Amino acid sequence: MDNLIENYIDFLVIEKGLSHNSIESYSSDLADYGDFLEKNLITMGRADTTVILAWLVHLTQKGLSSKSRARHLITIRGFYKYLISEKHLSVNPVKDVDIPKIGQSLPKIMSVQEVEMLLNVGDLTKPKELRNIAMMEIMYGAGLRVSELIFLKLQDVNLDAGLLRVMGKGSKERIVPIGTKAKAITREWIDTARPLVLKNIPSHYLFVARAGKPMTRQAFWKITKKNASLAGISQNVTPHTLRHSFATHLLEGGADLRSVQTMLGHSDISTTQIYTHISKEYLITMHQKYHPRN
């Protein structure tokens, strides 16, 4: 089974062009499934629908949410579809198994005021703190994913035009505009602080950490959490909160859904539509808070 999984992962990398994070998730899910079959002395060819259902029960007993169980099942569906297409199997045991129902959870966002508070934390005379704020300005200004932000290269930035070239999921490229504040602080970072952090070490990356390497996702997550705490923001703030806030604030300001979809790099507009629910909730909250007849 290990060889089949390895071949499938190669297929996802080469043929599907999935991102590194997606590949890690697929590999982990498939490894879990393989361990379950091995512990129960079940070969791949003998796994039927009953086995798949037992595996889902096993995931539930491990405490996985319906969302996580659905992701695992989607992974296994793709795996079996691949095995059938490659003539390793003739029957798909997952075909008639329904995906666990997932309640739509709305992502957490910050208010415009909270974003301002977050972006005003830090001593801009210190090179690394200027870098951190520039990264958050870009994150909020362009609605990037963390992986897209940390792997930006100097050649991807056109500050005169106010545009970024972003490599998104599945190696899909998109062009995203950034605002005046993001442009100004990024230019300051490139011109003054970045050379001090690099110390004559060459690097293609826009935002550099040690030895000219890109910052890790975990390191940026910690910086964001720390700055949110220093800003006095009580809610749980992660880098992705800035991306959610970017989309919601655009829609609240009157941007059309298709434009926001393009800027976020969503392949399906239904993914972007969740932000319309947030905007409606926000409007209701503001109405209840400020309307004199409430």
What does pTM read for this prediction?
Answer: 0.62
Q: Is 290 a catalytic residue?
A: no
Active-site pick, 165, 169, 181, 187: 169
Report d(CA 93, CA 95) in Å as an integer: 6
What is the chain's Cα-based Rg? Answer: 23
3-state secondary structure of 206: coil
Q: Is 67 a catalytic residue?
A: no
Output the tens digit of pLDDT for each of the chain's 294 residues.
778 888 889 888 887 777 888 899 899 999 999 999 999 888 888 888 888 888 888 888 888 887 888 889 889 999 999 999 988 888 888 887 776 655 555 678 898 999 999 999 989 999 999 999 999 999 999 999 999 999 999 999 999 999 999 988 877 889 999 988 999 999 999 999 999 999 999 999 999 998 899 999 899 999 999 999 999 998 889 898 999 999 888 888 888 888 888 899 888 777 777 776 665 565 566 556 655 555
Cβ(154)–Cβ(204) below 8 Å: yes
Report d(CA 243, CA 221) in Å as an integer: 13
If one counts every other C-beta atom within 10 angstroms of the C-beta of residue 13, the result is 15
Active-site pick, 69, 145, 244, 249: 145
Q: Is 243 a catalytic residue?
A: yes
Burial class (CB within 10 angstroms; exposed 0-12, middle 13-18, buried 19+) of 38: exposed
**Residue matched to tokens 């005046």:** 180
Burial class (CB within 10 angstroms; exposed 0-12, middle 13-18, buried 19+) of 222: exposed
Number of alpha carbons in the 13 Å side-chain half-sphere of residue 143: 23
DSSP one-letter code for 22: H
Domains, the chain, with CATH or none: 2-85 (1.10.150), 112-290 (1.10.443.10)
Active-site pick, 131, 243, 244, 249: 243
Q: Is 280 a catalytic residue?
A: no
Q: What's at 207, amino acid-wise?
A: F
